[in-house]
Amino acid sequence: MNTPNETTRRDFIKTSALAGTAIAASPFLAPQAKSAEVRLKGDKIRIGHIGCGSVSGSYLPVMTKHPKVEVVSVCDIIPERAKKRAEQFKVPNVYPNIDEMLAGAEFDFLINTTSMPSHYPVNKKALEAGKHVWSEKPMALEVSKGQELIALAKQKGVGFWAAPNCVTSPQFEFMAKTIASGRIGKVTAAHGTYGHGGPTWSAWFYQKGGGSLYDLGVYNVTTLTGLLGPVTEVVGMTDKVYDTRKVDDKGVIKVESDENTMLIMRHQSGVLSHVQTGFGYFDGERLAGERKLYSMDVMGTKGVMHLQGWDWSSAGVDLAYEGEAVLETQCKDAWKYEWVGGAAYVCDRLLDGQPSLITPEHGLHVLDVMNACHESQATGQRVKCQTVFPWPLIKAA
C-alpha cells in the first residue's frame, strides 16, 4: 500500500500528466507559484530519445546518470547512429523511426534532438501519443505550427518545452533580479552575440529550416526576452557568407540559410536590444588570464551588466552602478543543469511539482521573433510580433 508520499507507476504517470497540464495550460502562472502536487518514490520517468546525432552524445550522459530517469529507447532514421548510442549508453531498445518507437517499449517522456525541420512532425506525433516532450530548438519552423503543438499538449494533458534552457542559469537569475531591483536604473538597451565558424557535420544546418539564428542566435533571443520581456517589433538583416559548404554527411552543398544575422528588437517595456549571430566568425580567439569574453551587455541609466562567457555557459556577471562604478564580478555560481540539462531540468520539475522557468509560450515567442527577423530581411519592413509569453520569469528578491 502506498503512503501519501509514494505513488505507483500508474499514479505517477497520471499525476505527472496533470503537472504537465498545469504548466502548459496556465500561461500566466507565476513561476513562484506551486504548479501541482507531484511526488515520486521508487519509480522513474521513462525516456525515449530520438535523434542520435552530435548533441545526443552530450544529452545521454546526463540523462542516463539521472537517478529518477530511465532511458528505455533510442531512435534515429539512420539506424546505425541509434545502435551506436544504445551500445554506448546501454539503452535496451533501438528504433528506426518515431512510429516504431511509439508502438514499441513504453515510455513517458520524449527527448527530441533531431534536425530542426524534423522537430514539428516528431513533436506532434509524440504529443498525440500522450508523451511529455522536450524538443531541441526551435519547437517548429512556423509560429502557427508551434501554436498547434502547444494546444495539442494542453488537450492531451502533457508537458511540452523547447530548448534552450539558459533562463535556468544562476547568472540569468542574478541579472533578472538586478534589473528588477532597480540597481542599474531604467534599462535602455542590451546586446547579445553568439557565433562560430559553423557546424561541419550535417548539411541541414545550411538548408531551408536551418541557419545561424535558429541554431545560435536563439540563445541570445531567449535570454534577452527572458530578461527584458516580450518583443513588439523586429528589424532584421541576414546574409550568407559562402555560396557552398563542405559537410561530413553530404559533401559540397549549396548554402540556403542565414550565416550572418543582425536582429534588432523593441521590447514591450520600451528597451531596444540587439542580437548578432553567425556561422562566419573566426572562433580561434583565446583570452589571456582571468578575462572572459562578454557575450551580453545590459545598459541602464544608473549601471551596466556584462555577462562573462556565453549565456549557455557563463562564468559570472560584471556589474558597475552609481556609487560602485568599478566593474566587479558577481554571481560566479556553477549552474546545476548546464546547457545540456534542459530535459533533466523539466523532468525534475515534473517530479517535484514546481513550475518550470522554461515555458512553451516563451519558446513560441522566441520563434516568432526569429521568424520576424527573416520576414524583415525578405520584405525590407519592420515586422510586428504576434505572440507574448508570461513575464517576468523571475521577480525581484
Ligand X SMILES: NC(=O)c1ccc[n+]([C@@H]2O[C@H](COP(=O)([O-])OP(=O)(O)OC[C@H]3O[C@@H](n4cnc5c(N)ncnc54)[C@H](O)[C@@H]3O)[C@@H](O)[C@H]2O)c1
Binding footprint of ligand X on the chain (CB under 6 A): 50-55, 75-78, 81, 97-98, 113-116, 118, 122, 136-137, 201-202, 215
Q: How far is the CB of 99 from ligand X (least distance, A)?
A: 10
Q: Which is nearer to ligand X, 118 or 171 (CB)?
A: 118
* Amino acid at the residue 83: K
Q: How far is the CB of 203 from ligand X (least distance, A)?
A: 8
Q: Which is nearer to ligand X, 18 or 126 (CB)?
A: 126
Three-state DSSP string of 270-290: CCEEEEEEECCCCCCCCCCCC
Q: Contact, 49 vs 109, CB < 8 A?
A: no
- Which residue has the CB atom at the shortest distance from ligand X? 53
Give CA 42 to chain center in angstroms: 30
Q: How far is the CB of 197 from ligand X (least distance, A)?
A: 13
* Amino acid at the residue 194: Y
- DSSP for 172-211 reads HHHHHHHHHHTTT-SEEEEEEEEE-S--SS-GGGGSTT--
Q: Which is nearer to ligand X, 79 or 130 (CB)?
A: 79
Q: How far is the CB of 78 from ligand X (least distance, A)?
A: 4
Q: How far is the CB of 323 from ligand X (least distance, A)?
A: 40
Query: Backbone dihedral region of 287: left (phi > 0), alpha (psi from -120 to 50 degrees) or beta?
Result: beta
- Print burial letters for 71-92: b (CB count within 10 Å at least 16), e (below 16): bbbbbbbeeebbbbbbeebebe
Q: How far is the CB of 96 from ligand X (least distance, A)?
A: 8
Q: Which is nearer to ligand X, 202 or 329 (CB)?
A: 202
Q: How far is the CB of 163 from ligand X (least distance, A)?
A: 6
Query: Backbone dihedral region of 20: left (phi > 0), alpha (psi from -120 to 50 degrees) or beta?
Result: alpha
Give CA 352 to chain center in angstroms: 21
- DSSP for 11-72 reads HHHHHHHHHHHHHHH-TT--TTS-------SS--EEEEEE--STTHHHHHHHHHH-TTEEEE
Pairing outcome for strands 260-267 and 272-278: antiparallel
**Local structure of 119: helix, strand or coil:** helix
Q: Which is nearer to ligand X, 52 or 319 (CB)?
A: 52
Q: How far is the CB of 335 from ligand X (least distance, A)?
A: 15
